[in-house]
Amino acid sequence: MKKKIIAAAVLGLFMAAVCSCAKEPEDGTPVMNDIIETPEPAETVKISYPDITQIRSICELATIECYYHNVAKSVKEKGSGLLHIGEVERTFWIEYSGVAKLGIDMSKVTMEIEKEHIIITIPQAELLGLSDYSFTEDSYISSDDGLNKNPITAQNQTEAVAAANEHIRGLFENDDSMLLRAQDRARKLIENYIKQIGEITDASYQVEWIYEKSSPEDAAK
């Protein structure tokens, strides 16, 4: 049967370092909920020089987690042909929540040290992934009052959620302000780490940053 999937999501990110509950709008429109940043790294291990392993660990700790609330909507059209006479078009929607993680691919971070001059190459932040989502109790399925049944199957619902998730993924992947924030957070934590090493070793490190841009191959993923 012909199906058409409609993915609906509204991205409303509230910049806060602590949880804050977002009030659900009265009209049932889905909203993005909270943002939680992982805590700053604990006291760094005291070594005599900046270490790339520690820097990559810092990038992992700098990940920003964004809680989102989404709604998957779908319309299952009535079929055509003799076998589908009397079917009616049916609609449904399903609400669910999940977590998106934005940060730096730590494997792409490099460092060169020449005495007290440090060159760090850092990639653009990206969507690292969407966590497993959980469904809420709110959902809707229109009545099937046709002469011939047009059931909404588990596969119909799975496809609707998959399409909605692709939509939410695209919103995060193209949210330049959030991606820049994730990159800036990693940079500041790395600078703080190098400053601490300098204070321990009585060295005055000068950091030069090289910002790696995404390649066309990465953008196509």
Amino acid identity, position 25: P
Strand partners, 192: none
For 107-133, b where at least 16 C-beta lie within 10 A, e where not — what string? Answer: eebebeeeeeebebebbbbbbbebeeb
* Residue of 10, 40, 15, 14 whose CA lies nearest to 25: 10
pLDDT digit string (tens) for the chain, length 221 residues = 444 433 333 333 323 332 333 344 444 444 555 565 555 555 544 457 899 999 999 999 899 999 999 999 888 877 676 766 767 778 899 999 999 999 999 999 999 999 999 999 999 999 999 988 888 877 888 887 767 788 888 898 889 999 999 999 999 999 999 999 999 999 999 999 999 999 999 999 999 999 987 544 454 44
* Residue of 158, 165, 93 whose CA lies nearest to 131: 165
